[in-house]
Chain A
């Protein structure tokens, strides 16, 4: 069975693993022990103790916080119950004028702001840009991901989660 050291996974996740090695990992059979090594790498990276249960973005994690399961920014900011859309608790910059769109697209033809706006969802504490939506004005904010967290741990990882009194 394919398996890599935690150091290799850490470099892979950081984007610093040399390309020939990355390329070999891409071409090889996948390592079945990836998930827990990956979570361990991320746990080392974040500055807090609450156990990460599932990464849901580049700097966004579902973690066990006391008896709650919450979506948390890498900086430690909590967006609340993981089953709710974290975006509703975020901060937002909306680019809905030519001037604001031009800041990101300096040379190209621009969307018509009457037809499309760019929404940036930001951590209110550290300012990390977590997600960008390009949507028609008035389009409801998307709830990107509702993981079957308990099913995943129970049926696919074979390691059921401890029952949680709150937060699923």
Chain B
């Protein structure tokens, strides 16, 4: 089975040559003509479909090997086939964000002389989870294997799984407490972890001794290796059939075709021009246990994005004006930023399944050095980079949505994704064993609205287009907590003519353990980290955590008295407070606290998406249905949407169309009476800006953006007619 290379691979020279050709011709690897496609388009398309099928089936097979509910249930995996230079030719479904991060990993090994040492041989297995080499965060562990044919390196097979436990300072993988690289978990830095199609025993031992729940990681490794071998053998059999020369040429043509398709798609679906948008993120950790005093504990992040669509259809995204990287876990590497771009494009513009690295080549990211998008210190932690990535790419989706609305493709105009914060845990399991796990039901947030319909309720996340929350029973097998509630959160989607999708909230009873560490990944505090579009409101995404320690829940159950199954709709007194006795806790920002034990109750809510269009245009009939099914409250229907609901004989809500019409006329008049000219507001607000009369974190945000960006400084100064630098005391 194994194939020894006939001579030195010289793949590094090939990579440099390929890049030089792209620079010279503007086409991938100098492929200026799709000659094989032109010769026999049917054969060309059939092969492309075959490659795609190899990937999809390898991933499905691998999911059956995995022990992790993240991979088995929720599908946190993707596999892909690459050229010898590391460019993706075809990929499976799943967490497509990693297709390009894996590309970076392969190229990194090639550039760093891996051909000579540790050598690239048939049957080798290379693993990586270092985001500065090519991944998003520590739990995203990738394995790649070279594909040899006739003694020649002809490609790579690669697979990524999101691991549910990465051995960091707190259990799970999205380790909010990591403030530097050194507390994020077990790093495997582009390491040869196996030979002759087998994982090295010493590598497996290292995993077993450094992880809280090694069975997830180790079996996922085996699943990934199996999928890589499966893809490799399929590609080799294909080459036997079509010939090596044909393969080497056709694989490049697929990528060049992907690049051209992306440009054509942009010209077909969008409008050229400059698009701008922003979102914010509140990082609040003051007083939380475990945080080292390395930087300011509280931080407000601004994330402005300027997107340009050029006349040839290239999409350029510029993050200038955003905040510096910090001693927190939310920094992102260029690999992660690439990944965010790639997965967003696959969903918004390249949805027919033939996407590959060509699409990525038709875009450009401008990531200012020193910001969270491109830290100038490789010691920066990236364990929860999704916390900033998701809101940022939600902005990108809204910018694209504007262009789709302008062009008329309203059915694709999507208000976008939100951060969906995960809970993670470790300690003693219900079986009395040590354990650790990330709970992946977060992979089912509410989505933003579409320009013609409501967003998806509890059924979308940006990183995996096949969103899934997993079955309660499976999660309960893997953790010492029992669900006492999993419910829709009413009014959690942003309001609008079309509302954002709603979030859900889980309520758990800690069971059969005296030591359960519960932590959450980063999520925004004090500000919403999403937006609406064309008059739609952002979703309320700064939820706090509510827990009750030492509850009387077992006594209540004994008596058959009602329990709390959710937090309810009263923001000032939760259902937990109404129903349960015990020590009530409300925590802002990441949940990091002392261990829980049997009888404690904990709740965690995911996020809804932003709305689209003016709320006063929402369909009253649909709204009655929403109220009946718990997506909206009656109070919100009337107060926000202006919809008057009556009740039918059975007590179900029915829209009163006439009363609604009258009520809305009144609300519109109130709006106009309340509003004032923007010019007036700007003149008044200018005085506040001149005096820098803002909260310390807001001032710090402006000062940091001004220090890093001449453009932000210029725009701020011009808009308010002030000297931004002197206003915020920047030298």
List residues of A whose CB falls within 8 A of some B CB. Answer: 9, 12-13, 15, 17, 22, 25-26, 30, 32, 34-35, 37-39, 54-60, 87-94, 103-112, 114-116, 118, 120-122, 124, 126-149, 151-152, 155-156
B42 is an interface residue with CB less than 8 A from chain A:
no
**Once the chains bind, are B273 and A109 in contact (CB under 8 Å)?**
no
A137 to B720, CA, bound (A): 12
**Once the chains bind, are B540 and A105 in contact (CB under 8 Å)?**
yes
A–B pairs, 13, beta carbons within 8 Å: A15-B452, A90-B678, A93-B671, A115-B527, A132-B532, A134-B527, A134-B531, A135-B280, A138-B688, A140-B719, A145-B406, A152-B272, A156-B272
Which of B91-99, B206-214, B356-364, B635-643 contacts its partner? B635-643
Expressed in whole angstroms, the minimum distance between the Cβ of A139 and any Cβ of chain B is: 7
A41 to B527, CA, bound (A): 39
**Once the chains bind, are B276 and A13 in contact (CB under 8 Å)?**
no
Q: Which residue of A lies closest to B451 (CB)?
A: A58
Expressed in whole angstroms, the minimum distance between the Cβ of B653 and any Cβ of chain A is: 17
Task: Give the chain A neighbours of B707 by CB distance below 8 A.
Answer: none
Q: Which of B268, B491, B719 contacts A141 (CB 8 A)?
A: B719
Q: Which of B410, B497, B540, B570 contacts A109 (CB 8 A)?
A: B540
A117 to B267, CA, bound (A): 36
17 extra A-B contacts, CB within 8 A, seeds A13-B408, A88-B682, A128-B535: A26-B411, A59-B614, A60-B534, A88-B679, A105-B491, A106-B639, A118-B537, A124-B675, A128-B614, A131-B534, A132-B538, A133-B531, A136-B280, A137-B688, A138-B685, A138-B702, A147-B273
Task: Give the chain A neighbours of B492 by CB distance below 8 A.
Answer: 108
A147 to B276, CA, bound (A): 11
Q: Which of B278, B411, B678, B698 contacts A25 (CB 8 A)?
A: B411
Q: Which of B533, B619, B635 contacts A106 (CB 8 A)?
A: B635
Expressed in whole angstroms, the minimum distance between the Cβ of A167 and any Cβ of chain B is: 16
Q: Which residue of B lies closest to A86 (CB)?
A: B678
Expressed in whole angstroms, the minimum distance between the Cβ of B541 and any Cβ of chain A is: 9
B668 is an interface residue with CB less than 8 A from chain A:
yes
Among B563-581, those with CB < 8 Å from A are: 569-571
B536 is an interface residue with CB less than 8 A from chain A:
yes
**Once the chains bind, are A91 and B676 in contact (CB under 8 Å)?**
yes
Known: A55-B406, A93-B675, A103-B639. A136 touches B411 (CB 8 A): no
Chain B, 257-299, contact with A by CB distance < 8 Å: what is the 0/1 string? 0000000000111011111111110100000000000000000
A91 to B616, CA, bound (A): 17
The 4 closest A-B pairs by CB, nearest first: A38-B408, A108-B540, A140-B719, A91-B675
**Once the chains bind, are A116 and B490 in contact (CB under 8 Å)?**
no
Known: A22-B411, A58-B613. A139 touches B302 (CB 8 A): yes
Q: Which of A57, A104, A126, A143 contacts B276 (CB 8 A)?
A: A143
Task: Give the chain A neighbours of B453 by CB distance below 8 A.
Answer: 15, 22
Among B583-631, those with CB < 8 Å from A are: 612-616, 619
Task: Give the chain B neighbours of A121 by CB distance below 8 A.
Answer: 678
Q: Which residue of B lies closest to A125 (CB)?
A: B672
**Once the chains bind, are A144 and B277 in contact (CB under 8 Å)?**
yes
